[in-house]
Amino acid sequence: VRRQFEEHRERYRIPAEYKVRMLQVRPKGDDVAAARTRAESALDRIGKGESFADVAKEMSDDSRAEAGGDWGWVNAELVRPVLRNTLRALEPGSTSSIVYADGVFYILHLEDKRVESEGTFETAQPMIEREMRQQQSEILYKAWIERLRARAYVKVFDAKL
């Protein structure tokens, strides 16, 4: 197990994570200008001291609006590149400017972040053991199938009868 960890350390690294709140404003139909105006209004309210969560509850168009736009801890590698770059540039407690991507206006608020780190053997050990058990299971399964095939006798009859 340790040898597997040492040989493949990069597989067991812990990616950067961000505790983020997100406000999304989607255009109604083709009215992108009105959506931009709504996003600017939301950002202005946040800038004047209103709580990001309260503004998100009222103005966000995404499924997490009721939770104040709370997305919890997000793996940086799983978000769109433009949002990932925005998150990386923010400091905890700060709010982004408006980000436009794929027809949606986003405003991000970073609550906290965990930097990328190299995984320890202790955190990787259960995963490595699971992978090794899976590999052994596959080997045993293939051997079992081969034994069944070697013992089986199959006769094919003419289907035209």
Render pLDDT for 80-106 as a digit per residue (tens, 0 to 9): 899 999 999 999 999 999 999 989 999
The SS3 assignment for 106 reads: strand
Render pLDDT for 23-59 as a digit per residue (tens, 0 to 9): 999 998 889 999 999 999 999 999 999 999 999 999 9
Neighbours of 87 (CB within 10 A): 21
Confidence band, pLDDT 50/70/90 cuts, at residue 161? low
Closest CA to 115 of 83, 85, 79, 76: 76
Query: Is pLDDT of 154 > 80?
Result: no
Mean pLDDT of the chain: 89
Q: What is the pTM of this model?
A: 0.67
If you compute the radius of gyration of the chain from its CA atoms, what whole number of angstroms results? 26
- 103 Ramachandran zone, left/alpha/beta (phi>0; psi -120 to 50): left
